Structure 1
Amino acid sequence: MQNNMQNNLINWYHQYHRQFPWRETENPYFIWISEIMLQQTTTEAVIPYFNRFLTTFPTITDLATASLEDVYKLWEGLGYYRRAKHIHETAKIIVHQYNGIFPNTHKEILALKGIGPYTAGAICSIAYHMPTPAIDGNVLRIISRQYLLKDNIAETKTQKHITSIVAELLMGYDASAFNQGLMDLGATICRPLNPKCDQCPIQKTCLAYQNNQQKVLPINIKNIKHKELHYITGIITYQDQFLLFQNPPGLLENLYGFVQYECESPYRFQEEFENQYHLPLSIVSYIQDIKHVFTHRTWHMHIYHFVLDKPIKGLYTLDDIHNLPLSTAHLKVLKSFLKHMK
């Protein structure tokens, strides 16, 4: 079963693999950046970001010596900005500890900030052809179906079991083609819903297919608490300038955004603002309600326009804002305001 499965998958990958710019190189730096960008983001969306990022920062040293704000600006729109902060910090570590050369052992790569087991496995197998598993949701699903595994893939013990299966499957085979073959198979054929089993290169060895369980597996039941948060979000202007603040450590760290408070009305917002900034605000108008979904929380932003009667620190023109790294959520807020004002 194993020999047929590996050979069929690898042969299929060589013939039908998807074309991406990060697949045209074995440069571990490029592969690392692509893998970090691909977390929580579709491949199609990543391509222009990847090309712009590596045109601006062609080497690890270029990235390490750039300002964090410049890195954030190139990341703007990708979301999950802590990823950008981690790659900037990691680039500095690689420059200082490895003379700007990406490390080449699994242990050293896994120790780098922002690099977990999947990313380390992907870099090691694709850049260095090491037989290291790269276990993500696609792989968990495929192996669950191949082996008719009825355990919950959201559980750590199941993930460890599947990792051991993949590690055994990799021995003696082209790890790069095998791991990337699993990625492509999961993205295009062995999909979560309605898998295209008639097109699958490893259908003959799939126990779920043989038992007509491919639309049942994998079992993936997560116990995640999702927060619903409601904010009054203030577009606060003074003449042709907008008041923005830079986020502290935590969610959206170092990114710029509009002032918002978890309160029930714009009048309560005025009170909160005056308590914090010691300046009065005038309410101009209601703009719009916007929803922005994060992994474990949803923001409901009720947007109002306020004005200041005197300048304050943190005012920016639209041209200034164009060069600032704004969070995706607050880019939506700005766009809604500008559309409202037309």
Structure 2
Amino acid sequence: MKQLFNCQKNPKDTLINNLTSHLRHKDFVQAIIRWYRVQGRDLPWRRTNDPYAIWISEIMLQQTQVDTVIPYYHRFMEAFPNVYSLAHAPMDEIYKLWEGLGYYRRASHLKEAAAAIVNDFDGEFPHTYKDILSLKGVGPYTASAISSIAFKLPKGVIDGNTLRILSRILNCQENIAKDSTKKLYQEIMDQLIALGDPSDFNQGMMDLGAMICTPKNPACQNCPVRDFCQASQSQTQKLLPVNIKNKNKEDIYFITAILRYKDKYFLIKNKDGLLSGLYGLVQYETESPRGFEDAFYDAYHTSVRLLEYETEFRHVFSHRVWHMSVYYGEIEGPQNQKLADHLYTYEELQKLPIPTAHKKILDF
């Protein structure tokens, strides 16, 4: 058994020193790299060294599964093949291509970051970790991934996969939801990645977590670093990692209405908040149809009448849950300019970027 170090028998402040002494021969890192070069996933963004393309993929992959991202990535790269085309694209066009991918602020951050690359870096993608981290929407994980994959910089990535692998390799029961544990594992990853090819090691760790060292029922018999894994030796791999989150979702209850005026639908463009820049149905936190009608009149100085209750929809975001009681309704008052600005034919509606929470209602 080639132990890295025993997490359970060492104080946290000595783990890094112990790690170094166990990995002077680079066996662990090289085993990951060799496995990745043979068994790694064939993904479209891995067929290029273009940092722009790698950046787009990494932003899309934030909190989104690989299989979901692939078709979006192809369409996005076809529409915006370089940073200049993205920087000058209309925001509605970007949102429409993003529709259904979720976390829409990522799309607005992409455009803002593209403009910064054009204006502050003369259109050349920044090639230092610090400059990459300065881009809107790029955090430490994404900056590390781009730095290592596109520029071979020795920055280890910390995500669910690498946290899970290290927890099992070290048989460590530190809570990976804590910032202190993530900081510790970041130090470990930065030491490891300096011992081999940064791109292949980071991507190998990601693929190992996705394909073998999975959250449930890890395929330990196929693991290229099983000889290093203290959890496998102790038969504790299914207990790890410890991931206890202190997070409560906020429940919000709406009356949400599909409103028509003659042959057009009423939608509003969100100016800020969770779905900024997207077009959605009108909804209010009210407990009765009369309350909705009053709130609409106060906002648009036009009468509306809810005609029929349709169904209940529930949509889960990362920190909140929308409970939407859906009604059909008609706008009764005379059309004014404020009203006209929100009316769209069915054909026009199909071209608007609409969040998944409301799109599934319209498609019902």
TM-score when normalising by structure 1: 0.96
Q: Which amino acid aligns with 2:165?
A: I
| Counterpart in the other structure of 1:26 | 49
Amino acid in the other structure paired with 2:316: V
Q: In structure 1, the residue corresponding to 2:258 is in which secondary structure?
A: strand
**Deviation of 1:4 (Å):** 2.2
Partner of residue 257 from structure 2, selected from 234, 243, 249? 234
Deviation sequence 1:183-213 (CA, Å, 0-9, x none):
1111111111111111111111011111111
* Aligned-pair CA distance for 1:141: 0.7
Question: What are structure 1's unaligned runs of at least 5 residues?
Answer: 337-342
* 1:250 alignment partner, one of 250, 254, 273: 273
Alpha-carbon distance in 2 for matches of 1:149, 1:136 = 16
What is the alpha-carbon distance in structure 2 between the residues aligned to residue 54 and residue 101 of structure 1?
17
Q: Residue deviations 1:157-188, cap 9 Å, x none?
A: 10010011111111130111110011111111
Any idea what SS the aligned residue of 2:77 has?
Answer: helix
- Aligned partner letter, 1:319: E
1:145 to 168, 173, 176: 168
- Give the conservation status (yes or no) of the 8 Å contact 1:4–1:205: no
Mapped to 1, the partners of 2:296 and 2:312 lie a distance apart of 20
Q: Would the aligned equivalents of 1:237 and 1:306 in 2 still touch at CA under 8 Å?
A: yes
Q: Deviations over 1:278-306 (max 9, x none)?
A: 22112221111111110011111110001
1:14 matched residue in structure 2: 37
User: How far, CA to CA, are the matches of 2:307 and 2:173 in structure 1?
Assistant: 58
* Cα separation, 2, equivalents of 1:50 and 1:42: 12
CA–CA distance in 1 between the matches of 2:75 and 2:218?
Answer: 34
Q: Per-residue CA shift, 1:9-67, capped at 9, x if unaligned?
A: 11111111111110101111100000100112111111111011111111101100111
2:310 is the alignment partner of 1:287: yes
CA RMSD of aligned residues (A): 1.0
Distance 1:96 1:163 in 2: 32
- Counterpart in the other structure of 2:345: 317
Question: Structure 1: which 4+ aligned runs deviate by more than 3 Å?
Answer: none
Distance 1:172 1:117 in 2: 21
Offset of residue 271 of structure 1: 1.6
How many percent identity over aligned positions? 48
Secondary structure of residue in 1 paired with 2:239:
coil
Give the TM-score of the pair, scaled to structure 2: 0.91
Aligned residues: 336
Q: Quote the Cα distance in structure 1 between the aligned partners of 2:102 and 2:121.
A: 29
What residue is the counterpart of 1:120 in the other structure? 143
- Choose 85-94 or 129-138, whichever is displaced more: 129-138
**Aligned pair 1:332/2:352, yes or no?**
no
**Contact 2:252–2:320 (Cα < 8 Å) also in 1:** yes
Give the Cα–Cα distance (whole angstroms) in 2 for the partners of residues 263 and 73 of structure 1.
Answer: 30
Q: Which amino acid aligns with 2:40?
A: H
Do residues 269 (structure 1) and 295 (structure 2) align?
no
Letter of the 1:168 counterpart: Q
Three-state SS of the structure 2 residue aligned to 1:287 is strand
Cα distance between partner residues in 2 of 1:329 and 1:175? 39
Distance 2:306 2:160 in 1: 47
